Structure 1
Amino acid sequence: MRVMLQPASLATPSVRQHYEDTIQSLVDLAAHAALLGDELGVLQALYPNGYAPMWGVTPGLNNANVSKYQKLSQGDYVFFYGGKRLYLGGLVTHTFHNPQLAEELWGRNKNDQTWEYMYALDDLRGCDIPIEEVRECLPNVKSPDYIVQNPYMAEGEGADNLIELAQIDIGDVPSVGSEPSPSDPEIVSDLVFDKDLERRASRAERREQPTLKKALLPGLAGECALCGRTLPRRFLWAAHIKKRSECSDEERRDLSNIAMLACILGCDALYEHGYITVASDGTLIVSKAAQQDSVVNEHIERYLKDRTVSWWSPEREKYFAWHREHTYRADLPS
């Protein structure tokens, strides 16, 4: 998987207008059917509701952007960059070259180029990651002052680092029309796993975890920091407020503040995947992404709506702040 850094400063009026027209408002596929041609069927299969977020890249000086764009494919990830921060991320579902559609959507720039190397996105989420942290993820970037002025394609270690930094959970993107539905009983019955079921592996132990769980939960029951329910200990997990792999050794040893009890009946997963977070005053924030799923929304309405997290404290705020900036599925910037 590759990750592209897309310069798109919302402080630039033309960029903001493009963003509002084709990211916030989405592109009406039917309205552009004539220009989409054969791409229309592909996009309608990907977006059954008929609307898709789209962006594009200009050829650039001496076609410098074309070779970068040609590496981009379905299943890759794009971060939008502006104001010295990554502010938006999305999964690439389809790439296509269409100068006519690009000009109709966005016009042309001062160099008489249009954003003809286009891509459609899914699972859009706001983020707030400073360029200083981005630089540390990119082994091929040597300049301490690097900023994203042109599309940058991260591969290998750099791409993995960016995905880990932003806490993105990448799901598989199916090829449109090429495979039968896995819900078909006949297809499922033919599934066979022909590799070794077990393998020997060494792993690093989280040696502080037993001490952490005991400190947070000395008895047979405890309170979930997020929903506030008192539950038996088997339903509670010592969850790191800031992802453990991103903590320094000093932070991992800060047992009084680095973790909280979160129930495995929904709250832990919602927090881990960024559907909820905690504000700087302790109030619980719910992502709009969570409200799109009726089952998830039912849990939130019943147990989390309008809650203030008593576990929040000034000492723990820096860890909650990291979660808000790196894991929370923030709304699209306006």
Structure 2
Amino acid sequence: MIHVMRIVMQPARRSEKDVDQHYQDTIVNSVVFDDHADLLDASTVAQLKELFPDGQAQMWGIVPGKKNVNVSRINKMRPGDWVFFSGDKRVYLGGTIALMWRNRELATRLWGTDTAGSTWEYMYALSGTRGFDIPVEEVRTLLGWNPNRNIMGITVLSDEESDTLQTLLTLDAATAALDPVDTIEEEAAVAAFDGELERTAQRAQRGEQAALKKRLLNSSTGQCALCGRTLPGTFLIAAHIKKRAVCSDDEKRDLANIAMLACTFGCDAVYEHGYIQVATGGAIRVSPLALGIPEVEAYIQERLAGRTVTWWTPKRESYYRWHRTHTFKDVPPA
């Protein structure tokens, strides 16, 4: 069976003392596998150590719920899915489910039990976690939810909803214990698919993009807003500072401020995938997560570190701020 990466909404309100303590114990401070080898079965330890060679990982868990209400939802979750932690009206943490297992004894040791005597025994390890600061109201709007809908329990989004958030927030899947058979089945499905593989761009959007680039590039050459290199226009694109798909109509028409020239030699990619941000005032700041990718780190250090983006202005700050809170790969909140 082909598994599409879904997004799981994990309620975890840190304003509640117990939840924040759990977060401190197993997210801020990773769980060391050898400390709990007496409660982990050998196969789980082996998989964890393969996924996390340093011998530790961030962990979370889910209670079965009254009359096992959560179990059917948990059964929809798979390694490779993305999890958003939400609480106090904001999404504040995200990461990839690397491994899932059930262990009541370990959950009780790590987190104790709730008032009903239940514990968070459906456990998972997280990889590639990063911080966010997204109002839940914005998630509701993006997914077309009822304005009063709240994330009350563990929620697995539909494929369509997951795809929407994955695309709009540039979510990159991290390490996970995926079944290698999935790759074979996915390739077979693509080969057998006889529908359209490309979506036809709307004429209005093409016209908008052309108008943007023409406004930004008034000669045959232009300057990349990020690295500052002057390059032929062929190697520069009109890059939206805030992702176009979530811009309002007025923002899309704000041609003077919504986009910047970015070169295709690397600047557009590292910005689009959140490895750099433009801080208030224009200073470029580098994601700590870039350190784990030598080629990305080398490019940033050579071309971008220490630079100030002259394209930044107070009128563009709201767009750069959106990128900082939604796309920039920030460290998880402590």
Check 1:201–1:84 CA distance in 2 against 1; reply closer, same or farther (3 A cut): closer
Confirm or deny: 8 A CA contact 1:78 1:90 kept in the other structure.
yes
Following superposition, the deviation at residue 78 of structure 1 comes to: 0.8
Could you say what secondary structure the match of 1:316 adopts?
Answer: helix
> Which residue of the other structure, out of 72, 79, 88, is the alignment partner of 2:84?
79
Structure 1 CA distance for aligned equivalents of residues 327 and 288 of structure 2: 14
Question: Where do residues 1-334 of structure 1 align in structure 2 (5 Å cutoff)?
Answer: 1-37=5-41, 38-139=43-144, 141-142=145-146, 144-170=147-173, 173=176, 175=178, 194=191, 202-205=200-203, 206-334=206-334
Structure 2 CA distance for aligned equivalents of residues 280 and 58 of structure 1: 42
Confirm or deny: 8 A CA contact 2:80 2:178 kept in the other structure.
no
Following superposition, the deviation at residue 288 of structure 1 comes to: 0.8
Give the letter aligned to residue 303 of structure 1: R
Give the letter aligned to residue 28 of structure 2: Q
Confirm or deny: 8 A CA contact 1:138 1:154 kept in the other structure.
no
Following superposition, the deviation at residue 201 of structure 1 comes to: 5.5
TM-score, length basis structure 1: 0.88
Moved over 4 A (4+): 171-174, 193-201
Give the letter aligned to residue 101 of structure 2: F
Following superposition, the deviation at residue 95 of structure 1 comes to: 1.2
> Can you list the C-alpha shifts for 1:171-212, whole angstroms capped at 9, x where unaligned?
785636x57x99xxxxxxxx9x85689967633242122222
Indicate the RMSD between aligned Cα atoms, in angstroms: 2.8
| Gaps in structure 2 of 5+ consecutive residues | none
Confirm or deny: 8 A CA contact 1:65 1:151 kept in the other structure.
yes
Structure 1 CA distance for aligned equivalents of residues 199 and 10 of structure 2: 38
Confirm or deny: 8 A CA contact 2:98 2:175 kept in the other structure.
no
Following superposition, the deviation at residue 289 of structure 1 comes to: 0.8
Following superposition, the deviation at residue 307 of structure 1 comes to: 2.0
Moved more, 96-105 or 128-137: 128-137
Structure 1 CA distance for aligned equivalents of residues 238 and 143 of structure 2: 32
Identity of aligned residues (%): 47
Could you say what secondary structure the match of 2:96 adopts?
Answer: strand
Give the letter aligned to residue 67 of structure 1: S
Structure 1 CA distance for aligned equivalents of residues 107 and 142 of structure 2: 32
Could you say what secondary structure the match of 1:289 adopts?
Answer: helix
Structure 2 CA distance for aligned equivalents of residues 262 and 284 of structure 1: 14
> Can you list the C-alpha shifts for 1:121-148, whole angstroms capped at 9, x where unaligned?
1111111110111222445x53x33322
Confirm or deny: 8 A CA contact 1:226 1:267 kept in the other structure.
yes
Following superposition, the deviation at residue 313 of structure 1 comes to: 0.8
Structure 2 CA distance for aligned equivalents of residues 199 and 330 of structure 1: 34
Could you say what secondary structure the match of 2:126 adopts?
Answer: strand
Confirm or deny: 8 A CA contact 2:223 2:231 kept in the other structure.
yes
> Can you list the C-alpha shifts for 1:57-113, whole angstroms capped at 9, x where unaligned?
112222222221121111211100012100011111211111011111111122222
Could you say what secondary structure the match of 2:271 adopts?
Answer: helix
Give the letter aligned to residue 204 of structure 1: Q
> Can you list the C-alpha shifts for 1:256-281, whole angstroms capped at 9, x where unaligned?
11110111221110100011111222
| Higher relative helix content | 2
Check 1:73–1:194 CA distance in 2 against 1; reply closer, same or farther (3 A cut): closer
| Gaps in structure 1 of 5+ consecutive residues | 183-190
Confirm or deny: 8 A CA contact 2:130 2:329 kept in the other structure.
yes
Structure 1 CA distance for aligned equivalents of residues 157 and 111 of structure 2: 26
Confirm or deny: 8 A CA contact 1:240 1:260 kept in the other structure.
yes
Structure 1 CA distance for aligned equivalents of residues 162 and 221 of structure 2: 42
Structure 1 CA distance for aligned equivalents of residues 132 and 153 of structure 2: 20
Structure 2 CA distance for aligned equivalents of residues 194 and 5 of structure 1: 33
Give the letter aligned to residue 248 of structure 1: S
Give the letter aligned to residue 270 of structure 2: L
How many pairs does the alignment contain?
A: 324
Look up the match of 1:186. none
Give the letter aligned to residue 323 of structure 2: H
